[in-house]
Structure 1
Amino acid sequence: MSDLHLRLSSPRHLLPPLAPFERTAPVMPASPAVGPAGETPPAEPDEEAARKPPHPVSAPGGLRPALRSLKYRNYRLFVVGQCVSITGTWMQRAAQDWLVLSLTGSPTFLGVTIACQFLPYLLVGLWGGVTADRYRKRHLLMVTQGAMAVLALLLAVLALTGQVRVWEVNLLAFCLGLVSAVEDPARETFAAEMVGEKDLGSAVSLNSAVFQLARIGGPPAAGLLLDVVQAGWIFAGNAVSYLVVLLALLRMNPAELVPHTSAPRSPGQLKAALRHAAGRPELRYPILLMGLISVFAFNYPLILASLTNYYFHRGPGTYGVLNTVFALGCLGASFLVAPLLERGGLRLVVAAAVGIGVAQLAAAAAAPSLVLFALVIALAGVVGQSFVISANTWVQMNCEPEWRGRVMGIYMLVFMGGNPIGNPTLGKIAEEFGGRWALFFGGGAAALGALCIAALVRRSQIAVPNHPSSVRST
């Protein structure tokens, strides 16, 4: 659930009298009143306030671009919940993998369990986007966090009582995937309601940094705990971590959120969302790039495992080091890319996509030297995560609020769905010809495809002003 390949997402947010599925009335644009001199009078105070970004409370001044979103109290609560919950998610992921292997002794069964968790994205991922547009995101996240806590608690009880079976783990993993498929578009788009479009890039970058830190620390912590406690206690701890998110959501001030515009219930909303994304070049091309890169380039666990074992002839320790180096590169990108988002716009998205392919080609060329390969893998982490952050930010800032959830549902489907397509192909190449050839093929295909899409972007004459939220094709 790195952002790049495992795609595990987590959750967090709330309001006093709980009305989780209270719908907001669609906002109808009012015709502006015109004064005698043909001038539009100032907006009423409440209308003007509704268009403003959230008011920062207790805001530290002079924050660097990557940290600007921390000036909003609601977002600070969100980040605290994310830190705890995503760490718990990574710990449960590691403990669950260990539990399945201890029950079956089969990596094949482990692969089935992982597939059960990601299959729901292909089945209901688009409906998750519709749900995010229809209901208040903060309330929706409360419901998904509660559901995830219940699922983690059920797994903990089964494991601690010694009654757990593999089919039960798979069923709970599938249910968790269903909840995550609904939650992801809401969580991704909730950032814009907490910080406004101006600081959206900062929020996306910080979310990525939190994810990478949890990825670096969570699995090792789970490994240490598994030496002294049962896996069930780790599952129970993860259930508690979701409650931390619920508390953070409850403590938020709804008045400081950007007002939510609800999409009315109507037939054909999925088809309309697909037409909307396909008909807008500024949305179509970043989503196509994400699909391309997800299929051919975001397969690092497979490639690193193959090269470590069969090319460098090293053990799991080296594999762990390479994964950590890659994650550190992703973490660095989370802070480095934020200042470039407003100026780079779509150019940054395309350049980062091309850079991913070039980095993989360089990694394949550097493979004879383990040290040089590790350095290039760190660079691949930087450009890869820069692409994820810039593409996510660009797509959200070029969506009207009432379309944002559905478009991000399409984005997440492409992001999560490309890996199951590319992994078997690159795995077969690695098995037949070696991991270096898999890197050459994936990197070459990604770079060539990104260059072709870059040419299409140039031909479509998409305007790229300093503030990308106003971009429209000419």
Structure 2
Amino acid sequence: MFWSAQMVSLLGTWMQVTGQAWLVLTMTGSAFRLGVISTVQWTPVLLLSLYAGVVADRFPKRRILIVTQSGMCLLALTVAWLTLSGRVEYWHLLVAAALVGTLQAFDFPTRQAFTVEMVGRDDLLNAIALNSSIFNLARVVGPAAAGLVIETFGIGWAFLLNGVSYFGVLYVLAVMRVPDRIRAREDKAIAEIRAGLGYIGRTRVVLGLMVLIALVSVFALNFNVLVPLLVRNVLGGEAREYGFMMSAMGVGALTGSLSLATFGAKGRETRLALAGVLVLGLSQLGLAVITGWTLSAAALFVCGAAMVTFATSSNTAIQLTVPDELRGRVMSVHSLVFIGVTPLGAFITGSLAEYLGSSVTFGVAGAIAILTGLGIRASGLLRATTAADRTEASPRPAGRAGATDGRGS
């Protein structure tokens, strides 16, 4: 039931992502201001992720998610009202983006850690693959649906439908009965953050994956900035075509996630993550020189498949390595390097696209992705962890108390 409700909510989220990008571009016509919106939205994730990991480890995750999901629901409905009433201004979108980003800073690591509480470690790989599948199915349907809704009814309806889509998730979270894994407070938050960072620093594979994720996220995953510019300025399309091009990438991502779920990747996660980065870079180099609709859609399809292969494989490798008592803090660092660096990436991408155009910027992103993948591989950080490494990397307590299990109301 949770996965079904999550699917509907993600569908609404992708409708809002598409609608927001098109609304900013329509209002301002500026690639730079589009990048600023992304920067403002993800800056709180950059600033708050580490503390959010401590919160996720200390408090019942289900209740944290109820708070974060409720807040994002209210914000989506507020922006919908502003847009439908004709009152929306650029600064409204900046404020909403900042508030959504603040909630997402706590939502991301909590939701990832909550997956283990729902399914257990034995089914973790399948759960991550399932979550990736529904995420990318929503990525396929959401932008295309948003394009049709925007063209038929107006942009405000994309925000409204997203707000309504949260109702199912909130109901499921309210009635769900999952034991709350509450860890007693061990020390000050800064000491607990240091414990999580220390574990990452001592675990070679986790450290290597975090570095790879951070560099690729900054330079090669800014599709929400570049794709609308590609559609409008290079291909000469409008909202409907933008939605379908985003869906082409979504179909690729769905294909990649279903392939991983079907054929499995256990023991090969790091190799698949590297392969995903290299193919992502090559497909972005293709977008730098392609000017036709069909080939652009095909290149975005490959981008989607490569991106989800990289993201799912690296996430799985980290989740299977980290101990439960550090999961929230480690996954908060994952959120930081995967999503929190988006402000920097969006600012760089938006600035480059403003002066060089989307095609050249795609080429720069692709080249950096390839060089990053090859560099991390050559560094040896992603070599298999030995038994000695695992002993050295085992968690060191920050204070006195351990963890307790309780049951939420």
Please point out which of 284, 301, 315 is paired with 2:237: 315
Structure-2 residue corresponding to 1:67: none
Q: What is the identity, as a one-letter code, of the residue corresponding to 1:260?
A: R
1:394 maps to 2:301? no
Please point out which of 194, 210, 214 is paired with 2:118: 194
Q: CA deviation at 1:446?
A: 1.9
Q: CA deviation at 1:110?
A: 5.1
For 1:320 and 1:349, locate their aligned partners in 2 and report how far apart those are by CA, in whole Å. Answer: 27
CA RMSD of aligned residues (A): 3.4
| Greater Rg by CA | 1
Among the aligned pairs, what percent are the same residue? 36
Deviations 1:387-412 (A, max 9, x none): 10011111111111111111111111
For 1:445 and 1:359, locate their aligned partners in 2 and report how far apart those are by CA, in whole Å. Answer: 12
**Greater RCO, 1 or 2 (C-alpha within 8 Å, sep 6+):** 2
Structure 2, unaligned runs of 5 or more: 395-409
Structure 1, unaligned runs of 5 or more: 1-76, 465-469
SS at structure 2 position matched to 1:337: helix
Deviations 1:136-163 (A, max 9, x none): 1112111222222333344445556665
For 1:88 and 1:178, locate their aligned partners in 2 and report how far apart those are by CA, in whole Å. Answer: 19
Contact 2:146–2:158 (CA<8 Å) still a contact in 1?
yes
SS at structure 2 position matched to 1:341: coil
- Larger mean CA deviation between 281-290 and 422-431 belongs to 422-431
Q: CA deviation at 1:324?
A: 2.4
- Larger mean CA deviation between 218-227 and 387-396 belongs to 218-227
For 1:125 and 1:195, locate their aligned partners in 2 and report how far apart those are by CA, in whole Å. Answer: 24
SS at structure 2 position matched to 1:326: helix
Contact 2:252–2:302 (CA<8 Å) still a contact in 1?
yes
1:298 maps to 2:221? yes
Please point out which of 131, 135, 142 is paired with 1:218: 142
Structure-1 residue corresponding to 2:175: 251
Q: What is the identity, as a one-letter code, of the residue corresponding to 2:185?
A: P
Q: CA deviation at 1:471?
A: 10
Please point out which of 258, 271, 280 is paired with 1:335: 258
TM-score by length of 1: 0.71
Q: How does 1:253-402 map to 2 (within 5 A)?
A: 253-254=177-178, 260=181, 262=183, 264-267=185-188, 268-305=191-228, 307-308=230-231, 313-316=235-238, 319-338=242-261, 339-361=263-285, 364=288, 367=290, 371-402=294-325
* Cα distance change, pair 438–227 in 1 and its aligned pair in 2 (3 A): closer
Contact 1:263–1:403 (CA<8 Å) still a contact in 2?
no
Q: How does 1:22-101 map to 2 (within 5 A)?
A: 77-97=1-21
Contact 1:145–1:243 (CA<8 Å) still a contact in 2?
no
Structure-2 residue corresponding to 1:412: 335
- Larger mean CA deviation between 227-236 and 410-419 belongs to 227-236
For 1:471 and 1:378, locate their aligned partners in 2 and report how far apart those are by CA, in whole Å. Answer: 42
Greater helix fraction, Structure 1 or Structure 2: 2
* Cα distance change, pair 191–432 in 1 and its aligned pair in 2 (3 A): same
SS at structure 2 position matched to 1:343: coil
Deviations 1:201-221 (A, max 9, x none): 222222222222223323443
For 2:224 and 2:94, locate their aligned partners in 1 and report how far apart those are by CA, in whole Å. Answer: 22
Contact 1:126–1:270 (CA<8 Å) still a contact in 2?
yes
TM-score by length of 2: 0.81
* Cα distance change, pair 118–389 in 1 and its aligned pair in 2 (3 A): same
Q: CA deviation at 1:189?
A: 1.6
Q: What is the identity, as a one-letter code, of the residue corresponding to 1:343?
A: G
Contact 2:143–2:243 (CA<8 Å) still a contact in 1?
no
Deviations 1:324-378 (A, max 9, x none): 22221111011111233213132322333333334434555x6376644543432
SS at structure 2 position matched to 1:197: coil
Structure-1 residue corresponding to 2:379: 456
Count how many residue pairs are aligned between Structure 1 and Structure 2: 388
